[in-house]
Structure 1
Amino acid sequence: MSTRRTRGRPKTAPDSDRRRQIVAQALQIFRELGYARMTTDAVAARCQISKTTLYRLFPSKTELMGEIVETHIKSMIDLPRDYDHLPLAQALDLIFFNDIDEEADRERFAFLHFLFLEAAVNPELRAISDKFGRNAVLRLLSDWIDHQRGLGRIDVPDVHDAASILMDMVGGSIALTRDGRMEWPGSERRRAYVRECIRVFLGGVAPRP
């Protein structure tokens, strides 16, 4: 006598996988339509999920956009990570992904440029970019500099100021045009500029004998 198999509930993806999928689709909408039109309705429809599911995973559009910015930041700065065994110049070169290939370099520049333009006309996005982007990077750099100061490898009176100076120096590798747009310098030029910034910065924060 055969037993009848009951149909179970369909398998669902773990929340972590769903969040990644939603972020990926929301990023595409952001690039295609801009921040104002990256609505929760549009994201839910693109992901083929209910808004209830979307709001369970991302309670607000702000949180979703923050996740997009945070994901991008991971391609801009490789922290936290243990670099204590490396010379400081080599560590910073790796921290800023200065060895990234041309295609990936252009990709992250394209996102940064579009985010910059969109934030200029969307105050809400500007606040998100500052919170999840610049401020997050400053915290990571400050923590790393503070750790290096504790090891006696760096001598600075204020780690936050030092992190801000370093970030502004490296950020200068991408120039602004007269009409307020970012200008791509090319990977080779950007790498050389960043390495010179690192050299100058480390020269200023080296412990005095």
Structure 2
Amino acid sequence: MSETIQHGLAGQGNRAARLPRTARRAQLLAAAQDVFAANGYHAAAMDEIAERAGVSKPVLYQHFPGKLELYLALLEIHVDELIMRVTDAMESTTDNKARVRNAVGAYFDFVDGESQAYRLVFESDLRGEPIVQAAIDRGTDACVRAITRTITADAGLEEEPARLLAVGLVGISQVAARSWLANNRTMTKDEAVGLISTLAWKGIGGGYPLQQHS
């Protein structure tokens, strides 16, 4: 769960507490995160979110005009978090092998978060809503672009093959991370990240002149 949302939990059990608008919004988002992650969009109720946040429904509606707007606000936060994780993985080192491992690790860390934010981004039951799908696509495209830039610069590839490699890395990382979680973490996260990043590195580094360097 993001730090902003966590901070909003202070005083959550006191309906009468008056919080600054930003703190109240974070509190409501934290409550909504729990409900959406547990129930999905369609089964989630604004009544339950308000109750979990310890506020009245009118207070909830002061901040979010409807359930869709609340859901989208959360989704955008988590999409931005994923983009930041992958971008940092690419920019935190010049060692390409480490970059691949970090990129894989970014997805494993994302799905392993206590807030289950990944459910909104990867398993949304509202993908049929164009504005929701656009937000999810924005996250995927931004992660692919961050990896594509690195591969293009270091391997001297044209954009199309570099992008295809980036799409492959994003795809294998996301699917493997979710499978690891669904199978109750039968190996440690470090072991799983190492296994998948080795596979990805041998494919990317073996097929193109993307060298490990510092």
TM-score range (shorter-chain normalised) is: 0.5 to 0.7
How far apart are 1:146 and its partner, in Å?
Answer: 2.2
How many matched pairs?
188
Q: Does 1:23 align with 2:29?
A: yes
Asked if 1:87 is matched to 2:95, the reply is yes
Partner of 1:198: 200
Q: Which residue of 19, 29, 32 corresponds with 1:12?
A: 19
Residue 24 of structure 2 aligns to a residue in which SS? Answer: helix
Contact in 1 for aligned 2:148/2:159 (Cα 8 Å): no
1:44 aligns with 2:46: no
Return the index of the structure with the highest Cα Rg.
1
Q: Helix, strand or coil: the match of 2:99?
A: helix
Counting helix residues as a fraction of each chain, which structure ranks higher?
A: 2
Q: 1:65 is matched with which residue: 67, 71, 79?
A: 71
For the Cα contact (< 8 Å) 1:75–1:97, is it kept in 2?
A: no
C-alpha RMSD of the superposition: 4.2
- Aligned position for 1:137: 140
Matched letter for residue 39 of structure 1: A
Give % identity. Answer: 15
* CA displacement 1:161-204 (0-9 Å, x = unmatched): 3332221122342576xxxx954453255213321243022433
The CA deviation at 1:52 is: 5.0
How far 1:139 sits from its partner (Å)? 1.6
- AA in 1 matched with 2:96: L
Give the match's secondary structure for 1:86: coil
Gaps of 5+ in 2: 1-16
**Letter aligned with residue 80 of structure 1:** T
Higher RCO structure (Cα 8 Å, ≥6 apart): 2
Distance 1:21 1:111 in 2: 16
Distance in structure 2 (CA, Å) of the matches to 1:45 and 1:60 = 16
Pick from 162, 166, 190 the counterpart of residue 165 of structure 2: 162
The one-letter amino acid paired with 1:145 is: T
Matched residue of 2:176: which SS? coil
> How far has the Cα of 1:125 moved from its partner?
7.0
Aligned equivalents of 1:109 and 1:203: distance in 2?
37
The structural deviation recorded for 1:25 is 0.5
2:98 partner amino acid: Q
Give the drift of 1:13.
1.8
CA contact (8 A) 1:29 1:43 kept: yes
Which consecutive unaligned segments of at least 5 residues does structure 1 have?
Answer: 1-9
Letter in 2 for 1:26: A
Q: Aligned partners of 1:87 and 1:24: how far apart in 2?
A: 37
Alignment equivalent of 1:33, drawn from 29, 39, 50: 39
Deviates more, 1:181-190 or 1:194-203: 181-190
